[in-house]
Amino acid sequence: MTHPRALLFDVFGTVVDWRSSVAREIERIAEQMGFAVNGHDFATAWRKRYQPAMAKIREGNRGFVPLDILHMENLRDVLAEFSIDCLSETEIDDLNHVWHRLDAWGDAVGGVNRLKSRHIVATCSNGNIALMVNLARHTGLNWDMVLGGEVAQAYKPEREAYLRSAAFLGLKPEECCMVAAHNEDLAAARSFGLQTAYVERRNEYVASGGEPRPASQDWEWVASDFIDLAAKMGC
Amino acid sequence: MTHPRALLFDVFGTVVDWRSSVAREIERIAEQMGFAVNGHDFATAWRKRYQPAMAKIREGNRGFVPLDILHMENLRDVLAEFSIDCLSETEIDDLNHVWHRLDAWGDAVGGVNRLKSRHIVATCSNGNIALMVNLARHTGLNWDMVLGGEVAQAYKPEREAYLRSAAFLGLKPEECCMVAAHNEDLAAARSFGLQTAYVERRNEYVASGGEPRPASQDWEWVASDFIDLAAKMGC
């Protein structure tokens, strides 16, 4: 096994803390508008509709549409589920863009910068290009490139999402390493020939009462955060 | 007219000095291998085949292929034209990658960094993703995103190359400004609704005996280099 030339990063949960950011935003809106909501429950309910929405596209029952659109469709459903009907169309659209301004985990920006010294660093997320570009500018993340879903026109864990991302960099799958906090993402990447790096993000689940999800396979790298990964990768 | 939110950069000639970089590389090879070549003539001859190669694709006579492949086909022709037959396949492939390691104009990295403080900065070049990513790492250019040819699957000056690049950023054409040293690139961008910024790069032509090509229309911005453009754009 040769050292990878490119690191492909999962983003939601691995690089950014979507749950706290979404929770904070809906709670701020609720306070301003005078309704009650549990922010973590709202964030979890919104995110719960994420995989089923993409499943229709993966299964060929719908053409590819960018994640912003799926997020918007899901948001309307969640607002109805939570009986929140006081938001204008402009306010709903603005809330949908919360995914463009999530907070990064504390080690993410510094860790990616260190990892970039030795590797191409690119996103391989299901988030669309505009979302990823705005998120990088919001957080200060310095990607070499946004790849994944929209550029590949395929949603992870479809093989094309991984293999086209590698090919766009002019690299073989085994020259790339998928970096994620999620075992299922890494399992798919490994099955298509990529190297794998698991990064622990306990607070993605534990902070809202869920169970931790430790590494489930012998991934090539296992790290507690991006700084630890950088050290283990010799950066 | 509102201030643009994103700047889309032409790259070859506008951001990087392709001619001197290619000339230097073939002259270095010639010295090592003991043959004679005029580097600027070689670079000009290689580049001369650039537009005709893309024309076939623009006209629908060939499916989209990344620029690395067109460069390679053209390189074989130019090597034959110059009667250079002593390079191995590995050496030819390495020479073809000179486009991944061109030098930036002296003001480019600092200028893009300044412009990035207020705008999304993305490439809108006909260069493919791997080429643009490697070029950015070689030069230290900090793009927010690589767009253009391969991402849009269309070669400038086709409308899709400009309009899809804007759309991938979630922006309207008029929210984007094309930045180029070439009037024909700006004319196409303007015809599709983008704002335009002309940057003078006299040495792209004059250094090899060509005529300067000053601004030919009343582009929204006209600047002597990227630092001047940044000042004019309030960065």
Contact across the interface for A120 and B137, Cβ inside 8 Å = yes
Q: Does A169 touch chain B (CB under 8 A)?
A: yes
What structural domains and CATH numbers belong to chain A?
6-17+103-232 (3.40.50.1000), 18-100 (1.10.150.240)
Buried b or exposed e, range B10-30, using 16+ CB within 10 angstroms: bbbbbbbbbbbbbbbbbbebb
From B137, which residue of chain A is nearest by alpha-carbon distance? A144
The 10s digit of each residue's pLDDT in B47-98 is 999 999 999 999 999 999 999 999 999 999 999 999 999 999 999 999 999 9
Please return the burial class of A6, using the count of CB atoms within 10 Å of its CB with bins 0-12, 13-18 and 19+. Answer: buried
> What is the pTM for the complete model shown?
0.96
What integer is the mean pLDDT of B210-215? 87
- Please tell me the distance in Å from B196's CA to the nearest CA on chain A: 21
pLDDT score of B162: 98
* pLDDT tens by residue, chain A, 235 residues: 799 999 999 999 999 999 999 999 999 999 999 999 999 999 999 999 999 999 999 999 999 999 999 999 999 999 999 999 999 999 999 999 999 999 999 999 999 999 999 999 999 999 999 999 999 999 999 999 999 999 999 999 999 999 999 999 999 999 999 999 999 999 999 999 999 999 999 888 887 778 888 999 999 999 999 999 999 999 9
C-alpha B79/C-alpha B67 separation (Å) is 18
* Interface contact A133-B169, CB threshold 8 A: yes
Q: B144 and A130: CB-CB below 8 Å?
A: no
Predicted local distance difference test score (pLDDT) of residue A72: 98
Lowest mean per-residue pLDDT among B178-182, B201-205, B206-210: B206-210
pLDDT, tens only, B167-190 = 999 999 999 999 999 999 999 999
Residues in chain B closer than 8 A to A169 (CB atoms): 129-130, 133
| Inter-chain contacts counted by CB atoms under 8 A, chains A and B | 48
**Nearest Cα to Cα of residue A115 among A6, A224, A2:** A6
Residue A112 contacts B where some CB pair is shorter than 8 Å: no
The interface predicted TM-score of the complex, written ipTM, equals 0.95
Length of chain A measured in residues: 235
Q: Grade residue B207 by pLDDT with cuts at 50, 70 and 90.
A: confident
For residues B132 and B146, what is the distance between their CA atoms, to the nearest angstrom? 7
Contact flag B130-A68 (C-beta cutoff 8 Å): no
Q: Do A146 and B142 touch (CB under 8 A)?
A: no
Residue B11 structure tokens: 């790259």
pLDDT at B211 over 90: no
DSSP per-residue string spanning A23-47: HHHHHHHHHHHT----HHHHHHHHH
| Residue of chain B whose alpha carbon sits nearest to that of A151 | B151
Q: Is A130 on the interface with B (CB under 8 A)?
A: yes
Contacts of A125 in chain B (CB under 8 A): none
Residue in B115, B151, B153 to test binding to A, most A beta-carbons within 10 Å: B151
Q: Going by DSSP bridges, is the β-strand pair B120-125/B6-9 parallel, antiparallel, or unpaired?
A: parallel
Q: Provide the phi-psi class of A151: left if phi over 0, else alpha when psi is between -120 and 50, else beta.
A: alpha
Q: Which of A122, A130, A170 sits opposite B168 (nearest CB)?
A: A130
| B103 pLDDT tier (thresholds 50, 70, 90) | very high
Q: Which residues of chain B does A146 touch, with a Cβ-Cβ cutoff of 8 Å?
A: 145
Chain B residue at shortest CA distance from A116: B137
CB distance A145–B145 less than 8 Å? yes
CB half-sphere exposure, A154, CA atoms < 13 A? 12
Q: What average pLDDT does this structure show over B127-153?
A: 98
